[in-house]
């Protein structure tokens, strides 16, 4: 099955700095890569996703890049703010042969701390 590695486990930055979280996946058949933000005591919330036919996607201060050859993808947050503090999870999904149902495999998460 798919295996997703995520680094770093903890990331501490000053407000206004950029933050980068990196993930690698093992199965080259994976073609959908969502990122989730989980605040304390809440469920994960999708913040951005990318499909394998795209190398980069941007949404305001967040961007995701994908390198299919190297099987790694990254989340970039610019101009970080204290409210960006949360745990971020990457995931990779392999399309199923029947029904096309995607079951994402998650990384272990990165705790991002943004200091005011």
Partner 1 sequence: DAGVTQSPTHLIKTRGQQVTLRCSPKSGHDTVSWYQQALGQGPQFIFQYYEEEERQRGNFPDRFSGHQFPNYSSELNVNALLLGDSALYLCASRETGGAGNTIYFGEGSWLTVV
Binding site for partner 1 (CB under 8 A): 4, 6, 32, 34, 36, 41-46, 49, 89, 91, 93, 96, 99, 101-109
d(C-alpha 11, C-alpha 114), whole Å:
8
Please state, in angstroms and rounded to a whole number, the distance separating the CA atoms of residues 23 and 72: 6
Can you say how many angstroms the Cα of residue 11 is from the centroid of all Cα atoms in its chain? Answer: 14
Sign of CA dihedral 46, 66, 63, 57: negative
Q: Which residue, 44 or 77, has its beta carbon nearer to partner 1?
A: 44
Q: Please say which residue, 20 or 87, places its beta carbon nearer to partner 1.
A: 87
Q: Is the Cβ of residue 77 or residue 94 nearer to partner 1 in the bound state?
A: 94
Minimum CB separation of residue 107 from partner 1 in Å reads 6
Polymer length of the chain? 116
CB of 102 to partner 1, least distance (A): 4
């Amino acid at each position: 099955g798919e295996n997703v590695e995520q680094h770093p486990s903890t990331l501490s930055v000053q407000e206004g700095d950029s933050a980068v979280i990196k993930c690698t996946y093992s199965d080259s058949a994976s073609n959908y890569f969502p990122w989730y933000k989980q605040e304390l005591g809440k469920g994960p919330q999708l913040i951005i996703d990318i499909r394998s036919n795209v190398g980069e996607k941007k949404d305001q201060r967040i961007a995701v890049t994908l390198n299919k050859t190297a099987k790694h993808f990254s989340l970039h947050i610019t101009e970080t703010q204290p409210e960006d503090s949360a745990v971020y999870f990457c995931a990779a999904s392999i399309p199923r042969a029947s029904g096309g149902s995607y079951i994402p495999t998650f990384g272990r998460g990165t705790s991002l701390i943004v200091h005011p």
